[in-house]
Chain A
């Protein structure tokens, strides 16, 4: 296996008073290989977006390391970080909030080029902007329009073009589809797939939509309350989840298929997600786990290698979990 492009080691991000912090991200480790699309899934409050932002140092980590090609981003100077940002880009969730409404499209894209000293000169810049717009399925004449003149799907294309303007190697896509309608989601998924293949991008794809993750990602990290529950290649995870939470998450997501044999078998989780200010001792999932035993309260389960690229943070190996989707 080649060297990973991105390595996350024991990443922690706590918010609020140090005496009683919100443990948004608590000891998370994973790596992403060049060209790989890694899915980050979990419910709200699981720390998905915080991880995405901490990775690009849009927010600072509390402890732990993020390595890009072996270089620790946390100790990079601000000028070094600025240079690195041309390699590390982000696509945001809300295409309405993430584009400056007072800027024309050519200025939104042009600013990114200017900051990184790319496509210098008016002619070169205009040519590059036209090229970028065509790359994401828009037309060159769209450059002189404002964001409000576009639909949600088109705005997300502009967001993608802005991320690609600086020729990045790695993209964090934070729920890029969730603000879009189903028929438009498919267009953006196809766009992301095409660009990933054409530009050999590495991607961290953050989503709560398991169907899209199954379609788009090579491997998946399942998060719950700021901790990693399971890491697995996508096909294996969806065929046979190893962690009780992964299983429940897959079962809870209704498939668009009214077959009666799929209708009855819901493993509904009881209760709510606990507060990250005061997470349960031991395994954070134990308060909702159908397979909980006494030891779950006293032992914090480590992420264990289960072979074939699979890892899980659960002390129980004696339960047979079946995929229900």
Chain B
């Protein structure tokens, strides 16, 4: 353990998670490296099966042992005291002290992640009794303050209600109250608004933004929604087939995506198409949407070279030979593509 006041909140290096299944070894997450700055939000973006959730569960060490998982790499987390710990190497009791305390997590589906047989107050109180050592009365009072913090109306009454008595938006607020109860320094949010309606999503995102400003916590935001990323992330890491294919600050990523997959992902959004039409003075919907052809290859039979090569419009013969490395591609940017790394020197000259 060493002290480092200017450290990154979380520095993930070469994280790989394999599942040993009957059909063979599945590389769910391979060689994933990214970082989260203190007080900032890093978004992990990708489609289903890209390894976003397995990444977050690996970091929290929440994958069950019965899955015969093999995780390797480092996840250097800097705690409140300024000590840097490797989450993947900590003994389980030390990890248990961090989970729900220094690092909290909220999930996509608030109905299945809250316990249906306890009141919301009891569930929040349980975590603060465990981590902060408060007695029952003080813990319930703390739970009430947490419900007020997340702007739940009539919090004193809601404290004694069960999850089924709350709406989806209210349940997600309770999840956030639960996560915030021990004042975490890192919040991992795995698709926190995907199950919610847009007007409720806007409320929850606004709440998360406010809490981040007030507490200075870092957020790892896992989502497939590029609109949410654009407005709520500082840095973005794009995943494809278990690997990070591009990472960049949010404005730079949307302004000039480097990896062909990121380019395709942005180009295929109807809103981007509409923007192009407006810019060119064209009428609505006359142009086809750009579509990335084909589909993700099976994790049991990955292509020999770049995972995106079979769907890539710019693929060369060399793309079939080896998986490209994640290489620097401009200031604070990296991309996993041989076309980008060839162009990278030009970018650094002009920068």
Which residues of A are interface residues toward B (Cβ below 8 A)?
43-44, 151, 153-154, 181-187, 189-190, 193, 208, 210-212, 214-216, 234-235, 248-249, 251-258, 262-263, 266, 268-273, 288
**How far is it, in angstroms, between the C-alpha of A183 and the C-alpha of B289 when the chains are bound?**
10
Q: What sequence of 0s and 1s flags, for each residue 69-86 of chain B, a beta carbon within 8 Å of any chain A beta carbon?
A: 000000000000000000
Q: What sequence of 0s and 1s flags, for each residue 192-230 of chain B, a beta carbon within 8 Å of any chain A beta carbon?
A: 000001111111011000000000000000001111111
Residue contact B289 to A272, C-beta cutoff 8 Å: no
Distance (whole angstroms) from the CB of B191 to the closest CB of chain A:
13
Residue contact B289 to A258, C-beta cutoff 8 Å: no
Residue contact A268 to B198, C-beta cutoff 8 Å: no
Does B3 lie at the interface of the complex (its beta carbon under 8 Å from any beta carbon of A)?
no
Residue contact A253 to B47, C-beta cutoff 8 Å: no
Number of interface residues, chain B, beta carbon within 8 A: 47
User: What A residues does B198 contact at CB under 8 A?
Assistant: 43, 208, 210, 249, 252-253
Distance (whole angstroms) from the CB of A219 to the closest CB of chain B:
12
Q: What sequence of 0s and 1s flags, for each residue 279-310 of chain B, a beta carbon within 8 Å of any chain A beta carbon?
A: 00000110011111101000000000000000
CB closest chain-B residue, reference A183? B292
Does B184 lie at the interface of the complex (its beta carbon under 8 Å from any beta carbon of A)?
no
Residue contact B291 to A183, C-beta cutoff 8 Å: yes
User: What A residues does B48 contact at CB under 8 A?
Assistant: 181
User: What A residues does B264 contact at CB under 8 A?
Assistant: 183
| A181 in contact with B224 given A186-B289, A190-B288, A256-B230 (CB within 8 Å) | yes
| A273 in contact with B197 given A234-B284, A254-B228 (CB within 8 Å) | yes
Does B268 lie at the interface of the complex (its beta carbon under 8 Å from any beta carbon of A)?
yes
User: What B residues does A248 contact at CB under 8 A?
Assistant: 199
Partner of B254, one of A190, A193, A256: A256
CB closest chain-B residue, reference A217? B285
**How far is it, in angstroms, between the C-alpha of A235 and the C-alpha of B286 when the chains are bound?**
13
Residue contact B284 to A215, C-beta cutoff 8 Å: yes
Partner of B295, one of A43, A184, A288: A184
Most chain A beta-carbon contacts within 10 A, residue among B232, B251, B289, B292: B289
Residue contact A252 to B199, C-beta cutoff 8 Å: yes
User: What A residues does B160 contact at CB under 8 A?
Assistant: none
B:234-283 near A, CB below 8 Å: 250-251, 254, 264-266, 268-275
**How far is it, in angstroms, between the C-alpha of A47 and the C-alpha of B97 when the chains are bound?**
46
Most chain B beta-carbon contacts within 10 A, residue among A182, A187, A234: A182
Distance (whole angstroms) from the CB of B31 to the closest CB of chain A:
22
Residue contact A186 to B228, C-beta cutoff 8 Å: no
Residue contact B269 to A272, C-beta cutoff 8 Å: no
Residue contact A193 to B200, C-beta cutoff 8 Å: no
A-B contact pairs, 10 of them (CB 8 A): A182-B268, A183-B268, A190-B289, A211-B271, A215-B289, A255-B227, A256-B230, A258-B251, A268-B199, A273-B197
CB closest chain-B residue, reference A275? B167
CB closest chain-B residue, reference A251? B202
**How far is it, in angstroms, between the C-alpha of A33 and the C-alpha of B48 when the chains are bound?**
37
User: What A residues does B205 contact at CB under 8 A?
Assistant: 254
Q: What sequence of 0s and 1s flags, for each residue 330-343 of chain B, a beta carbon within 8 Å of any chain A beta carbon?
A: 00000000000000
**How far is it, in angstroms, between the C-alpha of A214 and the C-alpha of B273 when the chains are bound?**
11
User: What B residues does A262 contact at CB under 8 A?
Assistant: 231
User: What B residues does A253 contact at CB under 8 A?
Assistant: 198, 227
Residue contact B291 to A272, C-beta cutoff 8 Å: no
Does B110 lie at the interface of the complex (its beta carbon under 8 Å from any beta carbon of A)?
no
Residue contact A193 to B268, C-beta cutoff 8 Å: no
User: What B residues does A193 contact at CB under 8 A?
Assistant: 285, 288
Beyond A184-B295, A256-B266, A266-B206, 10 extra complex contacts between A and B, CB < 8 Å: A43-B197, A151-B295, A181-B48, A182-B268, A183-B291, A187-B291, A190-B291, A208-B198, A215-B284, A257-B275
CB closest chain-A residue, reference B226? A256
**How far is it, in angstroms, between the C-alpha of A256 and the C-alpha of B229 when the chains are bound?**
7
**How far is it, in angstroms, between the C-alpha of A249 and the C-alpha of B246 when the chains are bound?**
32
User: What A residues does B293 contact at CB under 8 A?
Assistant: 187
B:148-204 near A, CB below 8 Å: 153, 167, 169-170, 197-203
User: What B residues does A181 contact at CB under 8 A?
Assistant: 47-48, 224
Residue contact B197 to A208, C-beta cutoff 8 Å: yes
| A186 in contact with B231 given A248-B199, A252-B202 (CB within 8 Å) | no
| A211 in contact with B269 given A153-B295, A272-B169 (CB within 8 Å) | yes
Distance (whole angstroms) from the CB of A248 to the closest CB of chain B:
6
| A183 in contact with B284 given A255-B227, A257-B271 (CB within 8 Å) | no
Distance (whole angstroms) from the CB of B250 to the closest CB of chain A:
5
B:15-64 near A, CB below 8 Å: 47-48
**How far is it, in angstroms, between the C-alpha of A271 and the C-alpha of B167 when the chains are bound?**
10
Most chain B beta-carbon contacts within 10 A, residue among A257, A270, A271: A257
Residue contact B272 to A256, C-beta cutoff 8 Å: yes
User: What A residues does B47 contact at CB under 8 A?
Assistant: 181-183
User: What A residues does B170 contact at CB under 8 A?
Assistant: 272
User: What B residues does A234 contact at CB under 8 A?
Assistant: 284
User: What B residues does A44 contact at CB under 8 A?
Assistant: 197
**How far is it, in angstroms, between the C-alpha of A187 and the C-alpha of B292 when the chains are bound?**
8
User: What B residues does A212 contact at CB under 8 A?
Assistant: 270
User: What B residues does A210 contact at CB under 8 A?
Assistant: 198
User: What B residues does A257 contact at CB under 8 A?
Assistant: 230, 254, 271, 275
User: What B residues does A183 contact at CB under 8 A?
Assistant: 47, 264-265, 268, 291-292
Most chain B beta-carbon contacts within 10 A, residue among A44, A183, A210, A212: A183
Residue contact A186 to B268, C-beta cutoff 8 Å: yes
**How far is it, in angstroms, between the C-alpha of A36 and the C-alpha of B200 when the chains are bound?**
31
| A215 in contact with B199 given A182-B226, A258-B230 (CB within 8 Å) | no
